Amino acid sequence: MNLYSFAKSVVFTALKPIYRFEVIGTEKFPKEGGILLCSNHIHALDPPVVGINAPRPVNFMAKEELFNMPILKNLLPGLNAFPVKRGMSDRDALRRAIKLLKDGEVVGLFPEGTRSKDGTLGKGFSGAGFFALRGEANVVPCAIIGPYKPFKKLKVVYGDAIDMQPYRDRRASTEEVTEVIMQHIAQLLEQYKTEK
């Protein structure tokens, strides 16, 4: 068992008794090929929650500062995390994400860029559209439906994969593609937030 699988098992075991996960739509998750996994962002635990419930290993960007911390700098690479400089265009991180997608891996992204303070879905940054178009990957929308309260149900919903090829063929803008992704996430939130 590699470090990712081990950590996934440990984190799942730790969080499962606290948050009653209801995971929906894993059967829709493509079994192969590059996937950009795009989710809403409501809590600091969103990355591990998305990661442990996804049917395939997920690579996440993590702020560069975490890689300077004594324990984390050795741990994070084994957890499929790679550094990104915040507040600037980090070409190395962009290239790394695109290569992962082209190599048929899953890259997790929170298009809003920061956590929503009131739980509503914010505007997506065009980086999501950029990766979707340039990474030769399809997009899987994901909705996390809280609240993050002990012993309350926490839903993680994976939607149908969005085929990006038609958008590439007509050279759609990154802004348009990001808007399409956000609409899919919004639809999942609307559909499942009221279901008990």
Q: Which pLDDT tens digit goes with each residue over 100-126?
A: 999 999 999 999 988 888 888 999 888
pLDDT at residue 40 tops 60:
yes
Report the distance separating Cα 86 and Cα 67, nearest Å: 13
The pTM is what? 0.89
Torsion of CA 142, 74, 8, 155, to 10 degrees: -30
Q: Which pLDDT tens digit goes with each residue over 74-96?
A: 777 777 888 777 655 678 888 88
Fold of 3-192: Glycerol-3-phosphate (1)-acyltransferase (3.40.1130)
Strongest mean pLDDT among 4-13, 23-32, 114-123: 23-32
What confidence score (pLDDT) does residue 92 get? 83
